Chain A
């Protein structure tokens, strides 16, 4: 007797759901408005994190199939694998860190391979967690600042200064990849309190599923990671969450769907079909009544492989910072569709480039605007959105850090409701003044003079 596993059951119930989505199996010619698909069998890479959901849902709920695509989802062990396999063509496209297409194109940490994105997978989704021990030290060092919400790194700065005086080893913090959003968020948060992340602490990379055990073993004092790895430490009672990435920068870009320039040039209709399927999937996912089904699907062993109860915590509108506290409402911890979340803003690319320059990852001065334009491709997004009849922004860039609440974007085919976009330190990012923005950071370590950078960006 063959065991009927939970997974089989899930598969069947999902297939049933997909059948309802599909009144009839439309063929590949329909897919991109009558244009023939160049390629229909695709392998897409993901990393087991909750925000792999747009790809997994488009696959499991039949959206890819609806547009004539036969997809295989390949769970990858590292971001480095994702980058290399996309570069080589072993994967057609993948779940990428928002800064990754930029790093791949510029050859930051890798051999340069022009890579683009025309689809943003989600906003927000990360948090900074510290051990109970460090949390207690921070409360002792600066009880006032620890009462504020969100918590700044002022108390951490005091702990670091005190420990330096008595000759203690620097505290170790972990994030997930050199060009990860997590690295930039953790650095941004620390540096705003005057901490130099390259000298005052030790930064390391640890794969997300190993964060919790390393915190427990006291190998690290804290980390910045995506879900479910913050809530996991909270439920186990071994760590406390200081701040979410949403609070560091409201509605910050997190992951994107990346393909190589070469692949996009060769397969324009297939690319468009992929984008259409993911836009539709994200619309379905962002409806609160569908979130539990999303949680069930992605918790499965072949994807995130974590308990439903833990994955659920951040995906259903609440967030728990400490074990002995109640979960607080945080509607926007994971945003997949609303606030034009799927649109690849060129200003987002420019912000990542600004941080890569700030921390010395980009070695030569460059034209920031031109670079961002070649990598983030709202033009391709618009073709897909137009075919779907979905409203989309008609501008490529926006200023960040000026909207404290919901606002309306009128530079769009029809008005779009947008989320707040404040930085927790009150700074503004104006894409027209990027060099000035970088110069104004007190803590920074660029590899070249900012005057030279200004010359290329006047």
Chain B
């Protein structure tokens, strides 16, 4: 069984591709851009298409599949009732699947489960990375504000830190907000 992946996010596509290969599926193509989608889709044979839901390329894909004899339709509802949950988790994870009529639901379920798991894992990783970057940037600002206090007020590092903390508590602000205020004022006066 052949699967085509369409995802603008190369990292996520690579992760999902590997996971599908590990589960014994064939990958007929991995497509990242709208341009490639328009150029290549017609030549590619596949049974299932997995596509990132946050990409507007879904509309392009729907037109391309409508031109094929065996039109692949989006999977919105599976016949068995308890599978509604599966489709809902796919939407939540941000992945959508297209299959041609008569494709075995059991096999589709297995592929969807792999895709949902990888999308979730990758999205969680991105969130984590984002929050780490954010924290790092905050720490840098606090260090900078500490440096300003040390220079202008002659504080040692510990006093500068405690001063920042106290200011934040008094004003009901976060330390990062106080630090940014100090940096802004220092830049204004410089």
Contacts and interface: CB of A to CB of B under 8 A. Distances in A.
B181 A84 contact: no
Contact of A111 (B38, B57, B74): B74
B62 interface: yes
A2 B184 CA distance: 11
Of the four ranges (under 10, 10 to 19, 20 to 34, 35 or more), the interface on chain A belongs to: 20 to 34
B66 to A, nearest CB: 5
Contacts of A81: 53, 58, 96
A90 interface: yes
B91 A207 contact: no
A206 B54 contact: no
A84 B66 contact: no
B66 A109 contact: yes
Q: Which residue among A79, A84, A177 has the maximum number of chain B CB atoms within 10 Å of its CB?
A: A84
Q: Which residue among B58, B61, B71, B73 has the maximum number of chain A CB atoms within 10 Å of its CB?
A: B58
A87 B87 CA distance: 11
A186 to B, nearest CB: 13
B62 A80 contact: yes
Contacts of B63: 177-178, 203-205
A77 B53 CA distance: 7
Contacts of B87: 88
A114 to B, nearest CB: 12
B91 A206 contact: no
For the residues of A in contact with B, the DSSP-based class is loop
Interface of B: 34-35, 38, 53-66, 71, 73-77, 87-88, 91, 96, 177, 180-181, 184
Nearest to A78: B58
A392 to B, nearest CB: 34
B74 A210 contact: no
Contacts of A84: 74, 76, 91, 96
Interface of A: 1-2, 77-81, 84-85, 87-88, 90, 109-111, 113, 176-178, 203-207, 209-210, 219, 361
A78 B59 contact: yes
Contacts of A1: 177, 180-181, 184
B88 A90 contact: yes
A55 B7 CA distance: 30
B58 A90 contact: no
Contact of B62 (A77, A85, A203, A205): A205
Nearest to B98: A80
Nearest to A180: B59
Contact of B73 (A111, A177, A204, A361): A111
For the residues of B in contact with A, the DSSP-based class is helix
29 contacts: A2-B177, A77-B55, A78-B56, A78-B57, A78-B58, A78-B59, A80-B59, A80-B74, A81-B53, A84-B96, A88-B77, A88-B88, A90-B88, A90-B91, A109-B62, A109-B73, A110-B73, A111-B74, A111-B75, A113-B77, A177-B59, A177-B62, A204-B63, A204-B64, A205-B62, A207-B56, A207-B60, A210-B56, A361-B66
Contacts of B60: 204-207
B58 A88 contact: no
Given A1-B180, A110-B74, A79 B91 contact: no
Contacts of B34: 206-207, 210
Nearest to A198: B67
Contacts of B54: 77
A207 B33 CA distance: 12
Contacts of B62: 80, 109, 177-178, 205
A107 to B, nearest CB: 8
Contacts of B96: 80-81, 84
A80 B98 CA distance: 12
A79 B184 CA distance: 44
A109 B54 CA distance: 20
A77 B62 CA distance: 14
A78 B55 contact: yes
A401 B74 CA distance: 37
B39 to A, nearest CB: 10
A79 B62 CA distance: 10
A255 to B, nearest CB: 15
Given A1-B184, A178-B63, A77 B73 contact: no
Contacts of A80: 58-59, 61-62, 74, 96
B180 A204 contact: no
A74 to B, nearest CB: 12
A111 B184 contact: no
Contacts of A206: 34, 60
A79 B58 CA distance: 8
A304 to B, nearest CB: 14
A111 to B, nearest CB: 5
Contacts of B56: 77-78, 207, 209-210
Contacts of B75: 111
